[in-house]
Amino acid sequence: MTSSPDTQAPRPAEDASPLSGYTVVDLTRALAGPHAGMMLGDLGARVIKVETPGHGDDTRNWGPPFVGPEDDKQATYFLSCNRNKESIALDLKSEDGKEVLTKLVERADVLLENFRTGVLDRLGFSMSRLLEINPRLVVLSITGFGHDGPEGGRAGYDQIAQGEAGLMSLTGSGPDDPQRVGVPIADLLSGMYGAFGVVSALLQRERTGRGQIVRTSLIAAIVGVHAFQGTRATVAGEVPRAAGNHHPSIAPYGLFHCADGAVQISVGSQGLWNRLCTRFDLDPETPGFENNPARVANRPALIETIEKAFSTYQSEELLAILADAGVPAGKVRSLDEVYAWDQVEAQKLIVDVEHPVLGDIRLPGPPLRFFGADQAGEHETTREKHNTPPLLNQHEEAIRSWLGLSTDVGTSTVDDGALDNGETDSGTIEQGPGSNG
């Protein structure tokens, strides 16, 4: 899968990342689209982030927490989803902004956008126009509720999508306690699905020579991960409800209290059930516990029985015993414990970058690793050096020079109407806007 020569951006010759040589123009802001762009950047693509002059991506102002000097505070929210990108500020309602964007589209392999339906059309960059400028372009378009249908133009915000698409009804301590997931999961999933769609479209482009439009939405992303809960509804005719920290179809599978806290166990087979019972002197054939359907039906009594057996053990001792018995188990870690965990370090899930304001910082890293193999064995080809999330307009001169445009054009500070907040449904709320932010 290679870019045509006229669309390739300069990349180091030694860069063997999967998307090395591809160029992505990222018009998105907030989280869903930026997360997709960051994933493509992690894979080696050159990602050029187009931001509003004077204001930038909304997440530059989402906090606390902010870090850094008083006169140049940086939002940790922005840092979470914009590594491996360059930044240029363009007023897309100005002639200069339109010219620069046109030149970027001509050279790009991918364009990402998460405006409300119709905004790009009004700016003069409809989908047909984009593909006219560059027939090989792959466009990823993310909305809140989809591009069509009776609610296709509805604004998209993560927590609203979690509720509307049913996820909150499955999450919480019980049916009367709907809870959102602790991260903006609709935003993140739509970004992940979007990045997957982009790579698939690039692969198809190798066969057809033409680009295409990839569309997803916050509700599509949530419905896409309903998994067995979805088929419970569509096939079995059941209405799944929140069941707290216990699996609705497998038992025992969940969080169980012990002397100093809790551990989690996953008993996914009859063999594991027998091992658990043997180690803690329980009868695996106890009436009501003899098989998985019976244990699910009698979950309250099962939980009481297991927690009684665990009650005299400290959590670390209990985890050691469960490991020795071959029963899958684990602890519930806080995030500071996660980032101090040697296994996380070993899996390269933390990356070190040098920020122009903050200096050396550590960021949560990409979840994919790549390996080649030859007669000498496996060798890792994963991207090793990552770039810090950019300052606003940090790369304007370099990008304009690459496009063959004058670098003397100053980027004027404009009000938030440059990429109108009303057009993008921007707003600072707890979980933040999703695709339309």
Q: Ranked by mean pLDDT, which of 151-155, 303-307, 381-385, 422-426 comes out on top?
A: 303-307
Residue 130 has pLDDT above 80, yes or no: yes
pLDDT tens digits along 220-275: 999 999 999 999 999 999 999 999 999 999 999 999 999 999 999 999 999 999 99
Fold of the domain built from segment(s) 5-226+375-424: Rossmann fold (3.40.50)
Residue with tokens 């933390």: 350
Q: What is the dihedral of CA 89, 392, 409, 105, to 10 degrees?
A: -40
- More reliable by pLDDT, 105 or 3: 105
Q: Could you tell me the pLDDT band of residue 184, with boundaries at 50, 70 and 90?
A: very high
Beta strand pairing status for 46-51 and 86-89?
A: parallel
pLDDT tens digits along 81-93: 999 999 999 999 9
What percent of the chain has pLDDT above 90? Answer: 85
**Burial of residue 104, with CB atoms counted within 10 A of its CB: 0-12 exposed, 13-18 middle, 19 or more buried:** buried
Residue 432 has pLDDT above 90, yes or no: no
The pLDDT of residue 436 is 42
pLDDT tens digits along 60-85: 999 999 999 999 999 999 999 999 99
Interacting residues of 231 by C-beta distance below 8 A, sequence separation 6+: none
Residue 111 has pLDDT above 50, yes or no: yes
Residue 203 has pLDDT above 90, yes or no: yes
Other C-beta atoms lying within 10 Å of the C-beta of residue 295: 20
- Rounded Cα distance between 167 and 41, Å, is 29
| Catalytic residue (choose from 26, 58, 187, 425) | 187
Residue 253's DSSP bridge partners are 266
Packed helices 270-279 and 315-325: angle between N→C axes, nearest 10 degrees: 130
Catalytic annotation present for 187? yes
Residue 158 has pLDDT above 90, yes or no: yes
The pLDDT of residue 29 is 95
| Mean pLDDT in residue range 368-393 | 92
| Mean pLDDT in residue range 120-126 | 96
| Helix residue spans in 209-298 (DSSP H) | 218-223, 227-234, 270-279, 292-297
| Mean pLDDT in residue range 24-46 | 97
- Rounded Cα distance between 129 and 111, Å, is 13
Q: Could you tell me the pLDDT band of residue 416, with boundaries at 50, 70 and 90?
A: very low
CATH 3.40.50.10540 placement within the chain: 5-226+375-424
pLDDT tens digits along 187-201: 999 999 999 999 999
The pLDDT of residue 410 is 53
> Structure pTM?
0.89
- Rounded Cα distance between 348 and 346, Å, is 5
- Rounded Cα distance between 108 and 101, Å, is 10
Distance linking the first and last C-alpha atoms of the chain: 32
pLDDT tens digits along 317-329: 999 999 999 999 9
Q: Could you tell me the pLDDT band of residue 430, with boundaries at 50, 70 and 90?
A: very low
